Amino acid sequence: MENAVLYILIATAVVVLILNIAATYVVFNTYFEVKKRRLYQTLFVWLLPFVGALMAIYLNRQDYFEQKRQRQIGNHTSISNSDAISHAIAANHRGGR
Helices (H), 29-97: 35-47, 49-70, 81-96
Q: What is the model's pLDDT at position 95? A: 58
First to last CA, the chain: 70
Whether residue 1 has pLDDT greater than 80? no
Tens-place pLDDT, residues 29-87 = 876 667 888 888 888 888 888 888 888 888 777 665 555 555 555 555 566 667 767 77
Q: What is the model's pLDDT at position 90? A: 76
Place 28 in a pLDDT band, splitting at 50, 70 and 90.
Answer: confident
Q: What is the model's pLDDT at position 34? A: 75
User: Is pTM, for the whole model, over 0.75?
Assistant: no
Quick one: CA dihedral 72, 77, 79, 80, positive or negative? positive
